[in-house]
Amino acid sequence: MGQIPAVGHFRPYLPRGRDLSLIETLGLAALHRCDPERAHGLSLTALRSGLVPLPGVVTSPRLATDLAGMALPNPVGLAAGFDKNAVALDPLMRSGFGFLEVGAATPRPQPGNPKPRLFRLSEDRAAINRFGFNNEGACAISARLALRPKGPVPVGLNLGANKDSADRAADFGVVLATCGPHIDFATVNVSSPNTEKLRDLQGRAALAALLAGVMEVRAGLARPVPVFLKIAPDLSEGELEDVAGVALESGISGIIATNTTLSRDGLASPHRDQAGGLSGAPLFEKSTRVLARLSALTEGRLPLIGVGGISSPEQAWEKIRAGATAVQVYTAMVYEGISLAARIARGMDVIAAREGFTTLAGAVGTGRDRWL
């Protein structure tokens, strides 16, 4: 297996031209001359315009994955936050991902936190954001989800809560009731650091009550969908044990590990002290250790999705070996482009064949102990 890059050893931003099309290479260079949030919006516009070459669905017998009953063409998903308002579903479904997660959506539209609220940390191959669940609201997002093209790539929604809500725990169920008929899975997001006191909902009693409410709404859907829980990487051992216990008791379908971190250890960028959640390369080791610990705590009874710092097939493979059934990427696309998903999926296929696995499922958890 290829060497996994150590945190802090990444070069400042430079597109890997040999891996990218000329259009993508030039596009990335142009986007990095823009304000980060403006660049994000332009990237969505470029996708929707058809200017970006797309690989289509990437799959093989080795890559085909069952995730909580969903048939994925490959296990490389798009993490929530890239397409918050579900405006680019068609091109994203043709971008090589095995599944997509849009949102986060809140019951009512909200503008989020004041700008600037997104920062590139190019020296660290990372980003810091403090968006604060900016989105157009569940009704607008639901309408777009209802019109999405049908295909082999499942589409899920990240559920959020309004900042000024009188009952944030109830907001998750409201969004699920509104959008549930048009999605393939839902994620309960209590781990964003950018909504005050939201992470308090990860405590055992609060989390159990919140998930009970969401599962009650799910039971009332004409087509109940898998429900995942997305957790923070900054939980203590005791908090992780509580999360694992509540997850197993609640009947949810799996856990996504992890969201962004509040840690700033070892960063070189001048933006390192900005408030918000840190994502990207520096999160890889921390999130993978949390993933492996959850795998041990749940004893394989819940599928896990590994997120945090993935920018290569080798790192995605390491997440699988640490206990993940599937993975998600986002921040690395800022530096590697939209073609990253297809390159990771194809690379994982090569690694699995080389390591003697006929399916990726056979590799899940085989390297967990190195992270414990």
CB 260 within 8 A of CB 253: no
Reading the block at residue 46, the tokens are 């470029």
pLDDT in the model for residue 196:
61
pLDDT for 202:
73
* β-strand partners of 129: 118, 277
Residues carrying an active site annotation: 192
Number of C-beta neighbours around residue 54 at 10 A: 17
Whole-number pLDDT of residue 158: 98
Please report the DSSP string for 164-190 in residue order: T-S-HHHHHHHHHHHHGGG-SEEEEE-
- pLDDT number for residue 19: 61
* Cβ within 8 Å of residue 99, ≥6 positions away: 67, 70, 72, 77, 78, 153, 154, 155, 156, 184, 185, 326
Please identify, in words, the CATH class of the domain defined by 58-335+343-371. alpha beta
Residue showing tokens 């403090």: 130
Q: pLDDT truncated to tens, each residue of the chain (372 aa)?
A: 333 333 333 333 334 444 677 888 888 999 999 999 999 999 999 999 988 889 999 999 999 999 999 999 999 999 999 999 999 999 999 999 999 999 999 999 999 999 999 999 999 999 999 999 999 999 999 999 999 988 999 999 999 999 999 998 899 999 999 999 999 999 999 877 766 666 677 778 889 999 999 999 999 999 999 999 999 999 999 999 999 999 999 999 999 999 999 999 999 999 999 999 999 999 999 999 999 999 999 999 999 999 999 999 999 999 999 999 999 999 999 999 999 999 999 999 999 999 999 999 999 999 999 999
pTM of the model as a whole:
0.93
The set of residues, in sequence order, having a beta carbon less than 8 Å from that of 341 and lying 6+ positions away, is 58, 76, 78, 95, 96, 97, 329, 333
Q: Rg for the chain (alpha carbons), in Å?
A: 19
Name the helix (H) or strand (E) containing 326.
strand 326-329
Ranges of each domain in the chain: 58-335+343-371
CB 204 within 8 A of CB 163: no
pLDDT at 206: 87
d(CA 242, CA 297): 10
